[in-house]
Amino acid sequence: MSKDNPKADISNAEFEVLDVLWDDYPATSSDIVERLNRKKPWHDKTVKTLLSRLVKKGVLDFDKAQRQYLYRPLIAREDYTKKEATSFVSRLFKGKVAPLVAGFANQNSLSQQDVDELKALIKQWEQNND
């Protein structure tokens, strides 16, 4: 999978399809529908349309095996989430992370585990950037 290949915007529904594919691929459209249906009902035709869109956007590719298409992601989950997180912070917080964290802290949305993980990340960053 390409690490620095910029991808088109992905809708929420497309993301749900991509998310189950990241968990285990390659997969047929039937496999993907089955996985999606564990959370909520999805129609086969809807999923096939979303798969087609993701292929056109360059996010997925497929191989034809006999009469089925085997889909696989072209972007890693980590790369996509990093790109989206950066875009989110840039758009809403002018590129600054502190106001985002402060918003969660002010709403009492941070658990002790969240705080401990943030402290560990900061400590690691300080060690790597001294």
Q: In this structure, are 56 and 92 located in the same domain?
A: no
Residues 108-123 have a mean pLDDT of 89
pLDDT of residue 79: 93
pLDDT per position as a tens digit, 30-43: 999 999 999 999 99
- Cβ neighbour number for residue 20 with a 10 Å cutoff: 20
H or E stretch including 115?
helix 112-128
**One domain for residues 18 and 56:** yes
| CATH code of the domain covering residue 57 | 1.10.10.10
* Co-location of 116 and 69 in the same domain: no
Residues 82 and 68 reside in one and the same domain: no
Could you give the percent of the chain with pLDDT greater than 90? 63
Residues 65, 83, single domain; the answer is no
User: Within a domain: residue 52?
Assistant: yes
**pLDDT band at residue 7 under the 50/70/90 scheme:** low
- What is the total count of domains within the chain? 2
| Predicted pLDDT of residue 97 | 87
Residues 39 and 83 in one domain: no
Predicted local distance difference test score (pLDDT) of residue 4: 44
- Domain hosting residue 57, numbered range: 12-73
Of 57, 45, 43, 44, nearest to 15 by C-alpha is 57
CA–CA distance, 75 with 71 (Å, rounded to integer): 12
Q: Which H or E run contains 10?
A: none
pTM, 2 dp: 0.77
Q: What is the tens place of the pLDDT at every residue in 16-27?
A: 999 999 999 999
Domain shared by 85 and 69, yes or no: no
User: 12-23 and 44-56 are packed helices; what angle lies between their axes, rounded to 10 degrees?
Assistant: 90
